[in-house]
Chain A
Amino acid sequence: MSNEQDIERHTIAVLVANEAGVLARVIGLFSGRGYNIESLTVAETDTKENLSRITIVTSGTKMIVEQIKNQLRRLVPIYKVADLTTDGPHVSRELALVKVAGSGEKRVESLRIADIFRANVIDSTNESFVFEVVGATEKVDAFIKLMEPLGLVDVSRTGVAAIARGANAL
């Protein structure tokens, strides 16, 4: 049984008006009230209705996560808040660009691992690769970890995009 004090990780999808300052409101809410942001992504998703979708991965006790959702719902330009973690099954993906520099056996090894992770090489020079890896956060984490001893020099991650399974829209 889960304890009231247990820290849980939740993925929250937020539909907002695509207007100046919305992101600042959301981020200000999190920093002002001391909530965690583990990942946050935002982009326009509905040009006709002028809506953007923010995906936030956050963590806290049950009470805090409930607060976060209710506080988000109070913001005037926020139209919908859904907790993908509790509302049913969902899928989530992240994309990372991972730069590995090196030569010889390490270089070959990095390619081998990339293959296992289905990461693509999207840039290469004689002494470097840029891999594109897509997957759940844990998979991306694992890939980056494996690249560390092989000459990892730079990482850029998109943060999490998530969506509920099945036919229904947010």
Chain B
Amino acid sequence: MAQHDTQMTGAEILLKALVDQGVEVIFGYPGGVVLPIYDELFKQNRLRHILVRHEQAAVHAAEGYARSTGRVGCVLVTSGPGATNTITGLTDALMDSVPLVCITGQVPTNLIGNDAFQEADIVGITRPCTKHNYLVKKADDLARTVHEAFHVAKSGRPGPVVVDLPKDVITGRGEYQPPSRMKTKYKPQVKGDLKAIEKAVEMIAAAKKPIFYVGGGVVNSGVAACQLLTQLVRMTGYPCTQTLMGLGAFPASDPLSVGMLGMHGTYEANLAMHGSDLIINVGARFDDRITGRLKDFAPTAKKIHIDIDPSSINKNVMVDHAVVGDAAHILEDMIKVWKAKQCRPHEKALKEWWATIEGWRGRNCLHYENSNKIIKPQYAIQRLYELTKYKNPYITTEVGQHQMWTAQHFKFEQPCHWMTSGGLGTMGYGLPSAMGVQVAHPGALVIDIAGESSIQMNIQEMATLCQHRLPVKVFILNNQYMGMVRQWQELIHGGRYSESHMEHHPDFVKLADAFGAVGLRATKPSEVDDVIKEMISVDRPVIVDVRTDASENCFPMIMPGMAHNEMVLGPEENVKVEPGSDEGGMVLV
């Protein structure tokens, strides 16, 4: 019985808090201790619940939702196995800075620590794989905690937050607190220091061989940040390279874009980094996949680093100048300062710099030998791009060669249309992530470009797609191998293909059918366009099984432990690398 009528149950408080936080969709899976929450969900219609088939997929779906909207993704799972199934997803979101709130059920407070049925110390387990986590001890604290969880998830460098709710908190009664009453001490710096910004602009104006190195942080910062970045790059006329996570932050078709950098980046991007005299890093974190051998990374360049997280600065690479804050705020100020000081780039030097870059570009490093007998994976992606670009599609990927080929050959003109697992490299990310994207953008074309191995990690979500009428397209580049593993074994382990070939795969066309989706197949180059067109025309989930060349390798490639100027451009170059190269404790395999 309510003591007075402002009291609500924990379950009611939770749902009200979610609604007040602007949540529209929850990705979840029920179980024992969260049943009272599911009972409340049943009674309302403001929150939509997408019933996944595995809790890992709920988290990736929330990631896709968050990445494609800039909002906080929301997950609800039960205690014990429901909660432990989220770990890979949470770690993925932490590595790629994706804002999520994951509500987990917990056994009643009086049983915590007793090895109760379906008990797991989820606050302990998720401490290293969340931005922050909470165990709520009483219903009165619940609303405030949920509000703070959303605040923490989206403020500063975004990340996943877990809120663990014991059963007695869910069923107990307490007072609701609106978001406006939330007090928090967590206030990361967003405005950049003006002096530091002025100095950055001076360095930028003085450079002779500069390059913008743009990362996921600009996408995190929002569409406005991407527009400001584009404006600044165009004002300077400097080249701009993007990380895997930064694709779309700057339009790929702009002549100032030199494409992706790093291990599978373009020749021109990597050589421009190597030969530059100034690197302007905006929201990227000098990941080992882009620096290569650290001691030879951009040896002649001064480095400016703009990042919201001070711990990203001077972590791998010592920089000459740092500006801490949100990319959009800082870029806006930089543009103002650039204009106010009437800065001009060094015209003559810049012309020479571009001439050098054009020389590198002339190598046409993404070139591959096409065939009219066998489908080259690059060709399939190029066709997919050409035939879908008018629809401005959302693309997700799994992990492997197909992911890298997509990054190389699919051109992203806008942010938030590209969802991939970069930091953790989670096979099985693409399908559920696409599901979350489709939920957020019901009318859009959403494609998961997949490998035949990765797709089997979360294939069960085909059923979710069918149940919720989410017409996601799964475009499998089926090379019969864990291609990325096979490539490393070919290049680094003497061609000993240990366990990288799955001798048995399902018939993906029949599998699609079994799920209630549409299955298509292409085995010859001449069939590629037709299956793509058919795939687009079907308003249902589709799996396309594209049989590609099993022996194709992804180039260019900076071999593990090598430097930017030592990249391998194609199969004709003889590569020999010692296995497991490692540098100062940083393992690069």
| A interface with B by C-beta (< 8 Å) | 4, 17, 20-21, 24-25, 28, 32, 63, 66-67, 70-71, 73-76, 79
Are A71 and B311 within 8 A (Cβ)?
Answer: yes
Residue B315 lies at the interface, judged by CB distance under 8 Å to chain A: yes
A24-B127, A32-B128 known; A76 vs B186 contact (CB < 8 Å):
yes
A66-B314, A70-B310, A73-B310 known; A21 vs B132 contact (CB < 8 Å):
no
A-B contact pairs, 7 of them (CB 8 A): A21-B127, A21-B135, A25-B127, A63-B318, A67-B314, A74-B309, A79-B185
Give 1 or 0 for each of B303-318: 1 = CB within 8 Å of chain A CB.
0000001110111001
In this complex, the interface size class of chain B, counting residues with CB under 8 Å from chain A, is: 10 to 19
Shortest CB–CB separation between residue A33 and chain B, in angstroms? 9
Are A76 and B318 within 8 A (Cβ)?
Answer: no
The B134-161 residues at the A interface (CB cut-off 8 A) are: 135, 152, 157
Residue B124 lies at the interface, judged by CB distance under 8 Å to chain A: yes
Are A70 and B313 within 8 A (Cβ)?
Answer: yes
Shortest CB–CB separation between residue B451 and chain A, in angstroms? 31
Are A63 and B314 within 8 A (Cβ)?
Answer: yes
Contacts of B135 in A (CB 8 A): 20-21
A28 to B313, CA, bound (A): 21
| B interface with A by C-beta (< 8 Å) | 123-124, 127-128, 131-132, 135, 152, 157, 185-186, 309-311, 313-315, 318
Contacts of A66 in B (CB 8 A): 314
A24 to B132, CA, bound (A): 12
Are B315 and A28 within 8 A (Cβ)?
Answer: no
A28 to B121, CA, bound (A): 15
User: Which of B128, B185, B309, B310 interacts with A28 by CB under 8 Å?
Assistant: B128
A25 to B132, CA, bound (A): 9
A74 to B189, CA, bound (A): 11
Contacts of B124 in A (CB 8 A): 24
A74 to B315, CA, bound (A): 14
A168 to B313, CA, bound (A): 29
A60 to B92, CA, bound (A): 29
A-B contact sample (15 more), CB < 8 A, given A25-B127, A63-B314, A70-B313: A21-B135, A24-B124, A24-B127, A28-B127, A63-B315, A63-B318, A67-B311, A67-B315, A70-B309, A74-B157, A74-B309, A76-B131, A76-B132, A76-B152, A76-B186
> Per DSSP, are chain A's interface residues mostly helix, strand or loop, or mixed?
helix
Shortest CB–CB separation between residue A57 and chain B, in angstroms? 20
Contacts of B311 in A (CB 8 A): 67, 70-71, 73-74
Shortest CB–CB separation between residue A13 and chain B, in angstroms? 17
Contacts of A70 in B (CB 8 A): 309-311, 313
A71 to B315, CA, bound (A): 10
Contacts of A25 in B (CB 8 A): 127
A73 to B157, CA, bound (A): 12
Shortest CB–CB separation between residue B188 and chain A, in angstroms? 9
Can you name the residue of chain A whose Cβ is closest to the Cβ of B129? Answer: A32
Shortest CB–CB separation between residue B174 and chain A, in angstroms? 19
Shortest CB–CB separation between residue B318 and chain A, in angstroms? 7
Shortest CB–CB separation between residue A70 and chain B, in angstroms? 4
Are A21 and B310 within 8 A (Cβ)?
Answer: no
Contacts of B313 in A (CB 8 A): 70
A46 to B186, CA, bound (A): 19
Can you name the residue of chain B whose Cβ is closest to the Cβ of A24? Answer: B127
Sorted from nearest, which 3 A-B pairs have the closest CB atoms?
Answer: A70-B311, A76-B132, A70-B310
A67 to B315, CA, bound (A): 6
Can you name the residue of chain B whose Cβ is closest to the Cβ of A20? Answer: B135
Contacts of B186 in A (CB 8 A): 76
Contacts of A24 in B (CB 8 A): 124, 127
Are B315 and A21 within 8 A (Cβ)?
Answer: no
Can you name the residue of chain A whose Cβ is closest to the Cβ of B310? Answer: A70
Contacts of A63 in B (CB 8 A): 314-315, 318
A54 to B131, CA, bound (A): 21
Shortest CB–CB separation between residue A46 and chain B, in angstroms? 14
Are B123 and A21 within 8 A (Cβ)?
Answer: yes
Contacts of A74 in B (CB 8 A): 157, 309, 311
Can you name the residue of chain A whose Cβ is closest to the Cβ of B152? Answer: A76
Shortest CB–CB separation between residue A161 and chain B, in angstroms? 24
Contacts of A67 in B (CB 8 A): 311, 314-315
Shortest CB–CB separation between residue A74 and chain B, in angstroms? 6
Shortest CB–CB separation between residue B161 and chain A, in angstroms? 9
Choose among A4, A21, A74 the residue with the greatest number of B CB atoms under 10 Å from its CB. Answer: A74
Shortest CB–CB separation between residue A84 and chain B, in angstroms? 19
Contacts of B310 in A (CB 8 A): 70, 73
Contacts of B318 in A (CB 8 A): 4, 63
Contacts of B185 in A (CB 8 A): 17, 79
Shortest CB–CB separation between residue B95 and chain A, in angstroms? 14
Shortest CB–CB separation between residue B475 and chain A, in angstroms? 37
Shortest CB–CB separation between residue A60 and chain B, in angstroms? 13
Can you name the residue of chain A whose Cβ is closest to the Cβ of B585? Answer: A34
Contacts of B309 in A (CB 8 A): 70, 74
Shortest CB–CB separation between residue B268 and chain A, in angstroms? 31
Contacts of A71 in B (CB 8 A): 311
Shortest CB–CB separation between residue A44 and chain B, in angstroms? 17
Shortest CB–CB separation between residue B172 and chain A, in angstroms? 19
Contacts of A79 in B (CB 8 A): 185
A21 to B127, CA, bound (A): 9
A72 to B201, CA, bound (A): 30
A152 to B309, CA, bound (A): 49
Can you name the residue of chain B whose Cβ is closest to the Cβ of A21? Answer: B123
A75 to B132, CA, bound (A): 7
Shortest CB–CB separation between residue A76 and chain B, in angstroms? 4
Shortest CB–CB separation between residue A61 and chain B, in angstroms? 11
A21 to B131, CA, bound (A): 14
A21 to B112, CA, bound (A): 15
Shortest CB–CB separation between residue B279 and chain A, in angstroms? 18
Contacts of A21 in B (CB 8 A): 123, 127, 135
Can you name the residue of chain B whose Cβ is closest to the Cβ of A79? Answer: B185
Can you name the residue of chain B whose Cβ is closest to the Cβ of A32? Answer: B128
Can you name the residue of chain A whose Cβ is closest to the Cβ of B124? Answer: A24
Shortest CB–CB separation between residue A52 and chain B, in angstroms? 14
Shortest CB–CB separation between residue A58 and chain B, in angstroms? 15
Contacts of A28 in B (CB 8 A): 127-128
Can you name the residue of chain A whose Cβ is closest to the Cβ of B151? Answer: A76
A74 to B131, CA, bound (A): 9
Contacts of B123 in A (CB 8 A): 21
A131 to B318, CA, bound (A): 48
Shortest CB–CB separation between residue B144 and chain A, in angstroms? 13
Can you name the residue of chain A whose Cβ is closest to the Cβ of B123? Answer: A21
